[in-house]
């Protein structure tokens, strides 16, 4: 029988990086959903993560907020007889040690300055700063890159970060080895100019632009206090370059996890949900995803049968919490090039209900990587004053170039104007505000506010 999570029936579904899963576990899920009379199934995917216990902790904490609202007799229920179940998706992703959420309450991050510019210098003085050593990075990357050649490349890359040779050839060799690592998994066949694929160009830069990139992201590392060796001395720029190389390794491997999230969603979770719609047609599915997990659940829509659109779709809501993928993903046309579209054009039609996002300028994980992407793929970046316009993420400013409304992320009880097929971007700048550097408030998603929004999107409250 199913486990329980805060009194709610709970099933874990684990996927490989290719999207395969245990067929017996899937069939057991279908059988037990019907046996227990589940009417509404929340399917939640974690984002960056190396440890199942971390993912399960997220699910436990989030659904504790859900269970509290469901058991509160003062909260009016639109579907009083709803029987809620939970699926926790597990998939192989990467969590850099300095991006790991800290235990216990976190300090409030400084409010962004006018225009949304993050005051890293102010943040550095008031919140914890985590700095991962090369050996820690090596350990964490090897948990997800398991091929022997990949592990050798990781050894070589992290050794260079540790040694920081003052040599131009070594700087270029780092780029070459990173390119080999990023090419070590099959390409997903998407256009490299997709808004969600900007980071892929970092290893294709010429020598001058490669150094420009390292200087830029190395300067960001110094500004937030996460640079090895402190401030760069006069006449010696190699420290900044190697600090930049560390962050470029982070950006590159996260880009690869973003690709992996799409494969897991389309070829794994989407297939399961499509079968669920056929075998348990009365179960209403509500998709939730955090960070790269928002990409997993979004790409699961592309894995549904083409007939599952509108009322024929089992998916009745989609809620993306601090999504770490392009804010143009669902756009029919890109604002800077109407001949191109987002990677998930037309997929919103496979949600028979509302579509929601959360956004916060204090989420530095989705707000600070994009200048690097625009530098790597800057053919059309000149049309924008801010790189985040071109390379922005869902968690930075919500779904863009789609029919949408932006409202504050509010406490339980507030009624949102939710409509099928329309986006509601929930501004979390007064709620999603706690964390540490470098990722900021990226993981600050467990609140009564977000639980209420999930239940509201599902039509339960």
pLDDT tens-digit series, residues 59-106: 999 999 999 999 999 999 999 889 999 999 999 998 888 777 667 788
**For the ranges 156-160, 215-219, 273-277, 308-312, which has the lowest average pLDDT?**
215-219
- What is the pLDDT, as a whole number, of residue 374? 59
- What is the pLDDT, as a whole number, of residue 105? 82
Nearest to 395 by CA among 358, 368, 433: 358
Average pLDDT of span 311-330: 96
Sequence-distant (6+) residues with CB within 8 A of 27 are: none
- What is the pLDDT, as a whole number, of residue 130? 78
Average pLDDT of span 393-421: 96
Distance CA 360, CA 430 (A): 8
> 445 and 62 in contact (C-beta within 8 Å)?
yes
**For the ranges 219-233, 262-276, 384-398, which has the lowest average pLDDT?**
219-233
Distance CA 309, CA 351 (A): 7
| Other CB atoms within 10 A of residue 105 CB | 7
Task: Tell me the pLDDT band of 54, cut-offs 50, 70 and 90.
Answer: confident
Distance CA 213, CA 219 (A): 10
Average pLDDT of span 105-118: 70
Task: Tell me the pLDDT band of 57, cut-offs 50, 70 and 90.
Answer: very high
| Between 217 and 420, the higher pLDDT residue | 420
Task: Tell me the pLDDT band of 368, cut-offs 50, 70 and 90.
Answer: low
> 389 and 323 in contact (C-beta within 8 Å)?
no
**Lookup result for tokens 């997903």:** 188
> 89 and 13 in contact (C-beta within 8 Å)?
yes
Distance CA 224, CA 120 (A): 5
- What is the pLDDT, as a whole number, of residue 440? 87
Distance CA 440, CA 365 (A): 7
- What is the pLDDT, as a whole number, of residue 381? 45
Average pLDDT of span 241-245: 93
**What is the chain's mean pLDDT, rounded?**
88
Distance CA 180, CA 153 (A): 8
Average pLDDT of span 223-234: 55
User: Which pTM does this prediction carry?
Assistant: 0.93
- What is the pLDDT, as a whole number, of residue 217? 85
């Amino acid at each position: 029988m199913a486990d329980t999570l805060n009194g709610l029936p709970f099933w874990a579904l684990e996927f490989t990086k290719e999207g395969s899963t245990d067929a017996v576990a899937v069939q057991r899920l279908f059988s037990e959903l019907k046996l227990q009379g589940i009417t509404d199934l929340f399917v939640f995917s974690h984002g960056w993560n190396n440890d199942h216990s971390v993912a399960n902790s997220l699910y436990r904490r989030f659904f504790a907020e859900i269970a509290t609202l469901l058991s509160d007799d003062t909260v009016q229920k639109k579907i009083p007889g709803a029987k809620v179940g939970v699926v926790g998706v597990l998939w192989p992703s990467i969590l850099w040690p300095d991006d790991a959420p800290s235990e216990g309450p976190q300090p409030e991050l400084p409010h962004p300055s006018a225009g949304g510019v993050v005051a890293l210098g102010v943040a550095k003085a008031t919140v914890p700063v985590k700095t991962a050593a090369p050996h820690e990075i090596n350990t964490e990357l090897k948990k997800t890159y398991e091929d022997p050649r990949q592990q050798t490349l990781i050894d070589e890359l992290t050794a260079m970060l540790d040694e920081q040779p003052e040599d131009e050839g070594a700087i270029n060799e780092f780029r070459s080895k990173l390119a080999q690592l990023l090419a070590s998994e099959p390409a997903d066949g998407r256009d490299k100019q997709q808004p969600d694929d900007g980071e892929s160009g970092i290893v294709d830069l010429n020598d001058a632009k490669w150094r420009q990139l390292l200087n830029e992201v190395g300067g960001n590392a110094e500004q937030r206090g996460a640079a090895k060796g402190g401030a760069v001395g006069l006449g010696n720029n190699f420290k900044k370059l190697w600090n930049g190389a560390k962050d470029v390794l982070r950006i590159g491997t996260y880009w690869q996890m973003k690709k992996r999230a799409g494969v897991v969603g389309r070829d794994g979770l989407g297939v399961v949900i499509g079968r669920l719609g056929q075998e348990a047609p009365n179960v209403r599915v509500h998709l939730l995803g955090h960070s790269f997990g928002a990409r997993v659940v979004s790409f699961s829509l592309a894995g549904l049968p083409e007939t599952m659109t509108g009322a024929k779709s089992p998916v009745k809501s989609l809620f993306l919490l601090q999504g770490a993928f392009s804010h143009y993903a669902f756009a029919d046309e890109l604002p800077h090039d109407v001949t191109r579209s987002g990677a998930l054009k037309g997929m919103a039609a496979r949600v028979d209900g509302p579509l929601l996002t959360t956004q916060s300028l204090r989420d530095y994980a989705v707000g600070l990587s994009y200048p690097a992407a625009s530098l790597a793929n800057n053919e059309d970046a000149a049309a924008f004053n801010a790189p985040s316009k071109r390379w922005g993420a869902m968690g930075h400013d919500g779904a863009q170039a789609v029919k949408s409304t932006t409202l504050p992320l509010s406490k339980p009880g507030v009624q949102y104007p939710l409509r099928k097929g329309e986006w509601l971007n929930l501004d979390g700048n007064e709620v999603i505000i706690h964390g540490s550097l470098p990722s900021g408030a990226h993981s600050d998603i467990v609140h009564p506010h977000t639980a209420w929004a999930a239940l509201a999107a599902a039509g339960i409250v």
